[in-house]
Amino acid sequence: MKAKYVALCIVIILLLLALFTLFQSPGLRNTQSDIYISYSQFLVEIDAGKVRDVLFRGYSKIHGTFKDDRGTFQIYVPNDPTLIPRLYGKGVTITTQPLQDDIPWFVSLVMSWLPFIALIWFIIHRTRRPKS
């Protein structure tokens, strides 16, 4: 009975953490105003001076804003060593962010320690002698 209670508490805590994470960072998810453009179209927009700023997330994902009122865009780019100088030459504001920032610290802590805690709980539960 006690093991079922502990398992239920762990599941409830994990669900609450997932819900908290879902509502904590709504800005990290895609919004409906993001449009996807091709890489060649992205280069044309840069050369025309229509890109205001870009945010590199990891190595290949870029979020950006147009200078006119078209809103924001999202694009996956190949490994292009000429991209950064091209952006810099057109006065585009460049921001970078690692992919690890998407995961809150407590979720990564729970996910890294959860297997160890489960293993210790299993060992204690299996080695415990039944009451006589």
Span 13-22, pLDDT tens digits = 777 777 666 6
- Residue 57 belongs to domain spanning: 33-102
Task: Determine, yes or no, domain membership for 63.
Answer: yes
Predicted structure pTM score: 0.53
pLDDT value of residue 6: 76
Task: Determine, yes or no, domain membership for 60.
Answer: yes
Scored b (16 or more CB within 10 A) or e, 104-126 reads eeebeeeeeeeeeeeeeeeeeee
Task: Determine, yes or no, domain membership for 10.
Answer: no
Task: Determine, yes or no, domain membership for 93.
Answer: yes
Task: Determine, yes or no, domain membership for 14.
Answer: no
The proportion of the chain whose per-residue pLDDT surpasses 70, expressed as a percent, equals 79
Task: Determine, yes or no, domain membership for 108.
Answer: no
Which alpha helices (H) appear in the chain, and where do they start and end? Answer: 2-24, 39-47, 83-89, 105-127
- pLDDT at residue 8 above 80? no
Instruction: State the total domains in the chain.
Output: 1
Helix/strand/coil for 55? strand
Task: Determine, yes or no, domain membership for 88.
Answer: yes
pLDDT value of residue 21: 65
pLDDT value of residue 49: 93
Kindly report the CATH number assigned to the domain that includes residue 98.
3.30.720.210
CA distance 107 to 17: 7
